[in-house]
Structure 1
Amino acid sequence: MRDSIAKAIEVCPVEVAICMIGGAWKLTALSCLLENGTMRFGELRRSVGDVNERSLARQLRELETDGLIRREVFAQVPPKVEYSLTHWGEELAPTIKALDAWSTRWIAEAQAEEAASA
């Protein structure tokens, strides 16, 4: 890692947030849990979209390790695993909603500009 990147991580809390929620499916998974509450793995996978199980499982493990989601395993056959937001995951709700609103506006404007130039 370059020294400038290591220093930025040490002094910039935004970098910490990006490390925690940045990833192929992390924000989408957090958004699904925020919208739907507790979900089983299969439900979450269908809600997230076109993601393979291994990739989603890795992202969920990282979110769990970082304390943003809770994974509860039930001792039964077949195995049952549920995911839910922790307090820290729930605290991301305003940020996720703001990102959603921002991107919705950006998409609409980009599509309007594209249509106008066609």
Structure 2
Amino acid sequence: MNISTVFLVCLCLCVTLEMAVTSEVTDPVEQYRLHCLTPDSWELNNMCSVFRMMDSNGNCFLDFDELWKGFSNSGVSMDQQDTVTVFKYFDRDGSRTVDIGEYLVAVWVHI
């Protein structure tokens, strides 16, 4: 990760945290990002642990059911339709699965 990427991630975190403090977020992707970016979840290692926890079959990809169950097990309160929205957003390449790269980009950078 180069210095520009680190700067971009830090900037996104600041904007996201400011948004969380100053407004109510209704977008399901943003809701999950804010859940992940709470002070006890900021480390990349924690994000990878969350991904591994949701990857119940250990194939290094999340399908919709794994994401849905993972959200439920980690205390994310999201209905099925919002989870579909988040899954489609995370699945950048349209493969119907989410790999760790797609997951981290979607949660941390939100581009």
TM-score class, shorter:
0.3 to 0.5
In the superposition, the TM-score normalised over structure 1's length comes to: 0.36
Q: Flag the structure with higher strand content.
A: 1
Q: Which has the larger radius of gyration?
A: 1
